[in-house]
């Protein structure tokens, strides 16, 4: 009996020593960041810029692999099952927090099956309407859609997309249900908005800024707490009449559950170094996003933020009764 206990203790000691040694030597090969969306989209661009910049402090190549489908849940499920060795990471946006409410048959838990590394950036959204929409201010728009709720329609990029979530929150805040038109992606939705087939939508600045500057759509408000430096004349929804409306399309970095703490700390430090990079910050700004402060690029900050977002969006989605499965 004593011999068995000693063997168990010895095994635990050797395992702990091996983990420490692995962490000390980490990374010793290529690191892969899984992005749960197709190449070329906003999340893919965010991840590729981050991978390139993190390669420096980590002293190894960091690459991106796209595993798209089912609103990001296929890629997330793959990462949840990946070896917890620090060589498979995950970049996802706000959809990681809304998946538990949108997908009733989710095969993973966004909180307990992942190790948080840190928040990457915050992206703004804008409420834009077709060029000839008959109102000139956000307050007028709210009054108009309430009075014409059976005639007005709102586009989105599909169930579970950021624009879909923003629309649900908008209807909840104005206490008015509108006709929503889901598309298979932002491109088709924006094309119909530009063509006047739909009335308005709320979407990421990544997708709307060029059309706003070209005068092809009307912009009424941004969803962030402060006005954007790139659109200083556009009010926030808060100041324009919806004091409780706040939404950012935040991205964050995760690892599979069980990844050793020393490796998580090394990755978090590399993330913080990357977010100091002037070129990275500029490229994110061009996407309408802002690299977060150092204190938010931490496991503790991301863990708390993820839980808060799950609690925020669960009731909104449940009230709407719209599910992705």
Which uninterrupted H or E stretch holds 306? helix 299-320
- Direct distance between the N- and C-terminal alpha carbons of the chain, in angstroms, rounded to an integer: 52
Q: 118: left (phi > 0), else alpha (psi -120 to 50), else beta?
A: left
Helix 73-80 vs helix 95-102: angle between axes, to the nearest 10 degrees?
Answer: 100
What is the predicted pLDDT for the residue at 10? 46
pLDDT at 5 over 50: no
Instruction: Kindly state the tokens that stand for 98.
Output: 């809304």
Q: Are 174 and 200 in contact (CB under 8 A)?
A: no
Burial of 111 (0-12, 13-18, 19+ CB in 10 A): middle
Q: How far is CA 293 from the centre of its chain?
A: 16
What is the predicted pLDDT for the residue at 206? 80
Percentage above 90 pLDDT, the chain: 72
Q: Both 212 and 312 in a single domain?
A: no
Q: Examine residue 232 and state whether it is found in any structural domain, yes or no.
A: yes
Residue pLDDT, tens place only, 163-177? 999 999 999 999 999
Burial of 172 (0-12, 13-18, 19+ CB in 10 A): middle
Domain extent for 135: 125-240
Q: 242: left (phi > 0), else alpha (psi -120 to 50), else beta?
A: beta
- How does the average pLDDT of the chain come out, rounded? 91
Query: Where does a domain end: 205, 240, 275?
Result: 240
What is the predicted pLDDT for the residue at 19? 52
For residues 227 and 21, which has the higher predicted lDDT (pLDDT)? 227
For residues 288 and 216, which has the higher predicted lDDT (pLDDT)? 216
Q: Both 224 and 305 in a single domain?
A: no
Q: Both 20 and 117 in a single domain?
A: yes
Q: Examine residue 6 and state whether it is found in any structural domain, yes or no.
A: no
Strands 289-291 and 114-123: antiparallel
pLDDT at 57 over 50: yes
Helix 138-147 vs helix 162-174: angle between axes, to the nearest 10 degrees?
Answer: 80
For residues 141 and 289, which has the higher predicted lDDT (pLDDT)? 141
Q: How far is CA 2 from the centre of its chain?
A: 52
Count of domains in the chain?
A: 2
Q: Examine residue 3 and state whether it is found in any structural domain, yes or no.
A: no
Which CATH number fits the domain that encloses residue 132?
A: 3.40.190.10
Q: Both 201 and 277 in a single domain?
A: no
Radius of gyration of the chain measured on its C-alpha atoms: 22
> What's the mean pLDDT in 64-77?
92
pLDDT category of residue 14 using cuts at 50, 70 and 90: very low
pLDDT category of residue 288 using cuts at 50, 70 and 90: confident
Which CATH number fits the domain that encloses residue 90?
A: 3.40.190.150
Which uninterrupted H or E stretch holds 76? helix 73-80
What residues does 310 pair with on adjacent strands?
none
pLDDT category of residue 59 using cuts at 50, 70 and 90: very high
């Amino acid at each position: 009996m004593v011999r068995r206990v000693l063997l168990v203790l010895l095994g635990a000691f050797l395992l702990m020593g091996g983990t420490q040694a692995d962490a000390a030597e980490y990374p010793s090969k290529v690191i892969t960041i899984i992005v749960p969306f197709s190449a070329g989209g906003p999340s893919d661009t965010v991840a590729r810029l981050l991978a390139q910049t993190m390669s420096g402090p980590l002293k190894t190549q960091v690459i991106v692999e796209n595993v798209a489908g089912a609103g990001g849940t296929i890629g997330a499920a793959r990462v949840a099952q990946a070896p917890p060795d620090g060589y498979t990471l995950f970049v996802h946006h706000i959809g990681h927090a809304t998946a538990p409410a949108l997908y009733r048959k989710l095969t993973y838990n966004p909180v307990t099956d992942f190790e948080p590394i840190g928040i990457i950036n915050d992206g703004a959204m804008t409420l834009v309407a077709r060029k000839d929409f008959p109102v000139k201010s956000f307050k007028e728009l709210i009054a108009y859609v309430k009075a014409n709720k059976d005639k007005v329609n709102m586009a989105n990029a599909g169930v579970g997309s950021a624009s879909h979530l923003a629309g649900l929150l908008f209807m909840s805040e104005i206490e008015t249900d509108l006709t929503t038109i889901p598309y298979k992606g932002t491109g088709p939705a924006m094309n119909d908005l530009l063509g006047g087939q739909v009335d308005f939508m709320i979407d990421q600045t990544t997708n709307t800024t060029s059309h706003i500057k070209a005068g092809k759509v009307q912009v009424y408000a941004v969803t962030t707490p402060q006005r954007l430096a790139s659109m200083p004349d556009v009010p926030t929804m808060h100041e324009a009449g919806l004091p409780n409306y706040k939404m950012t399309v935040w991205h964050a970095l995760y690892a599979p559950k069980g990844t050793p703490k020393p490796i998580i700390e090394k990755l978090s430090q590399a993330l913080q170094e990357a977010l100091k990079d002037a070129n990275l910050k500029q490229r994110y700004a061009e996407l309408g996003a802002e690299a977060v402060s150092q204190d938010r690029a931490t496991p503790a900050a991301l863990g708390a933020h993820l839980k808060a977002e799950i609690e925020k969006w669960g009731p909104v989605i449940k009230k709407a009764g719209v599910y992705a499965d």
